[in-house]
Structure 1
Amino acid sequence: MTFSIVGYDPKEKEWGIAVQSKFLGVGAVVPFAKAGVGAVATQSYANTAYGPQALELMAEGKSAQEALELITREDKDKEMRQVGLIDAHGNAATFTGTYCYDWAGGVTGEHFAAQGNILVSEETVRAMAKTFTETEGSLAHRLVSTLYAGQLAGGDSRGQQSAALLVVKEAGGYGGYNDRYIDLRVDDHPEPIKELIRIYGLQQLYFAKSKPDNVAAIEGKVKEELIANLRRLDYLKGEKEDEEDLFKALTAYIHTENFEEREQERGKIDLEVLEFMKKQR
């Protein structure tokens, strides 16, 4: 009752998983990942021990296929399981037990493994493989695009309920203190993949680094719009303001709205922050 993809970006050194299921809070069960080691998706009567076990084995230098063979070897219920793995070098492996409900299966390709069970048809997995291979952009973007393509191709035959996206990279977490670069969950929603894509967009807005081309000096029209909107949102008081008032008001806004990752040197602003501000009510 789940379909997922595990993937790797060799340029950015990122590992990740995207998953959707007719199951409450799938993000709490399926995805496991560790920067520099790999990623695991365990599903279909999921054995959640597979995640930590496979990561430990891959951290010791085992390939994805070797780790897969070892974690399933002693599991008496392995024929009810499904799992996909990607190792530190981007090698992929997937396994579908013979007792998984139709349609069930998986496919591997360069730097990815896609798998699913209780699907409408194998077209879901085929569409996922094609989309991951042909889509450009960040790993997270490719993963959620792949998940969406899988849903359009049929998806889970029982319907939709939850979805999750987990991407890890060294020091990629908030403040650089851990590897949890992107960790988003939609636990219960009528269209969880669309909702996951929406909150992924918010995550990028709040936490992605500013693009140099989007950083502008606070002058001319930019300054006029900034003053008008800071006043409209009650960050800037009164009819007159000096540069110090404007700086303090903008700083207060940025910190209140959690835009610290997009904060610029004094006298400049990320235009994406300004656009967000203009749309606020």
Structure 2
Amino acid sequence: MTFSIAAHQDGRFGIAVSSSSPAVAARVVHLRDSVGAVASQNITDPRLGAVLLDRLASGAGPQAALDSVVGGEPSAEYRQLTVVDATGAAATFSGGFTLGVHGEATGPHCAAAGNLLADPGVPAAMCEAFGSAAGELEERLLAALTAGLAAGGEAGPVYSAGLSTVSANGWRDTDLRVDWQEDPVDALRGLLKVWLPQRDDYVRRGLDPAASPGYGVPGDDR
């Protein structure tokens, strides 16, 4: 019921995801500054995201991190996981009870996976699109998500989507969600169009409020 891509670019990490389930990004997306990106999906256990990031932080590579977590997880066969680290290395895991038609793929600095898909090639299409897209990490993630949808996406309609990134600032500098709406990927595209030109201003407000630009709204007389 989900397809997603995790990726790395210039020290930043991000994930884009869509699903027929509501609020998918709240459960799937796991990011940590300077460490990596993890997507935990299918019959989802969000706790696995933090565990895998801890493994990466301790020095394990993506495949070693997956092997250690899956090997000690009694419910691993119900889980689908993707991992990308700070070198751009990537790994995936789909348990034996992954739902419906499913698939996974890795590429330079990215990993994608999906379940209950219309076509098992959806994750490969996402990695290919990420690799060929230009621009900011957010733009490349959205291009990958769009390509996944074009390649068939889920077997049924999707209703939620999300896109999040971290950039070693201490918080998610992009964190956009469409929790329940028809055509959520297109709605996500509209949100990103509004957000991306303002992203760096909001980061500056957090890091250096005295130098930050004004809000440009009534009552802001700076």
TM-score normalised by the chain length of structure 1:
0.71
Question: 2:110 is matched with which residue?
Answer: 112
Change (3 A) 1:102 1:253: closer
Report deviation, 1:105: 1.4
Report deviation, 1:253: 7.2
CA distance in 1: counterparts of 2:152 and 2:43, whole angstroms: 21
Say which of 172, 176, 180 aligns to 2:172. 180
Structure 1 stretches of 4+ with a deviation exceeding 2 A read 205-209, 255-258
- Aligned positions of 1:202-217 closer than 5 A: 202-208=194-200
Secondary structure of 1:8's aligned partner: strand
CA distance in 2: counterparts of 1:105 and 1:148, whole angstroms: 17
Secondary structure of 2:192's aligned partner: helix
Report deviation, 1:252: 7.9
Report deviation, 1:257: 9.7
- Aligned positions of 1:188-207 closer than 5 A: 188-207=180-199
Larger RCO, structure (CA 8 Å, separation 6 or more): 2
- Aligned positions of 1:84-123 closer than 5 A: 84-123=82-121
- Aligned positions of 1:124-139 closer than 5 A: 124-139=122-137
Write the letter of the residue equivalent to 1:36. Answer: S
Asked if structure 1 preserves the Cα contact closer than 8 Å seen for 2:103 and 2:122, the reply is no
Asked if structure 1 preserves the Cα contact closer than 8 Å seen for 2:106 and 2:124, the reply is no
Report deviation, 1:95: 0.6
Question: 2:146 is matched with which residue?
Answer: 148
Deviations 1:152-191 (A, max 9, x none): 11101121110011100111xxxxxx23111111100101
Asked if structure 1 preserves the Cα contact closer than 8 Å seen for 2:8 and 2:110, the reply is yes
Say which of 13, 16, 39 aligns to 1:15. 13
Question: 2:4 is matched with which residue?
Answer: 4
1:33 is the counterpart of 2:31:
yes
CA distance in 2: counterparts of 1:123 and 1:107, whole angstroms: 9
In the alignment of these two chains, the number of paired residues is: 210
Which has the larger share of helix?
Answer: 1
Percent sequence identity over aligned pairs: 34
Change (3 A) 1:257 1:74: farther
- Aligned positions of 1:213-232 closer than 5 A: none
Question: 1:212 is matched with which residue?
Answer: none
CA distance in 2: counterparts of 1:252 and 1:156, whole angstroms: 42
CA distance in 1: counterparts of 2:133 and 2:39, whole angstroms: 21
CA distance in 2: counterparts of 1:144 and 1:134, whole angstroms: 12
CA distance in 2: counterparts of 1:8 and 1:207, whole angstroms: 18
Which has the larger share of strand?
Answer: 2
CA distance in 2: counterparts of 1:168 and 1:58, whole angstroms: 16
Say which of 35, 43, 58 aligns to 1:45. 43
CA distance in 2: counterparts of 1:252 and 1:49, whole angstroms: 39
Write the letter of the residue equivalent to 2:108. Answer: E
Say which of 167, 170, 174 aligns to 1:169. 167
Secondary structure of 1:24's aligned partner: coil
Change (3 A) 1:96 1:14: same
Asked if structure 1 preserves the Cα contact closer than 8 Å seen for 2:31 and 2:165, the reply is yes
